[in-house]
Amino acid sequence: MVGMLWNEDWPTLLARLDKPAKLSQDTRTHRLLRVATRYVLACEAGDRSPVLTVAEQLGVPTTRIRDDLHRARVAGLLEPTAGRGQTGGSLTAKARAYLDQEGEP
């Protein structure tokens, strides 16, 4: 369902993800989840340039978002796309479990 994720609305989830990670070893995963979640939301909203949108939202270069999305896919947090250069994908069960874990990524 667009706009809802595991009984949590998107604004609440994004606000929770924008908080700094509690443990230093979790900061990379936290960042990847933050980027992947915003990317999935942009894709579900029909955004034709979701990487650019996420980069603007977070105030970082598009190359960093692209690299983080690749890392999220390699880490098993974001589903693969239909092909190279294609937008899309969804959060994996691993990502959902991490988000559900103690209410904080």
pLDDT surpassing 90 at residue 20: no
Eight-class DSSP state of 88: -
Domain that holds residue 34: 4-103
Q: What is the pLDDT of residue 87?
A: 81
pTM for this structure?
0.74
What is the average pLDDT score of the chain? 79
Domain count, the chain: 1
* Contacts of residue 38, Cβ cutoff 8 Å, sequence gap at least 6: 14, 17, 53, 54, 57, 58
Confidence class of residue 71 from pLDDT cuts 50, 70 and 90?
very high
The residues that bridge with 56 in the sheet, in sequence order, are: none
Supply the CATH number for residue 95's domain: 1.10.10
Q: pLDDT higher for 3 or 80?
A: 80
**Positive or negative CA dihedral for 75, 100, 82, 85?**
negative
Confidence of residue 32 (pLDDT cuts 50, 70, 90): very high
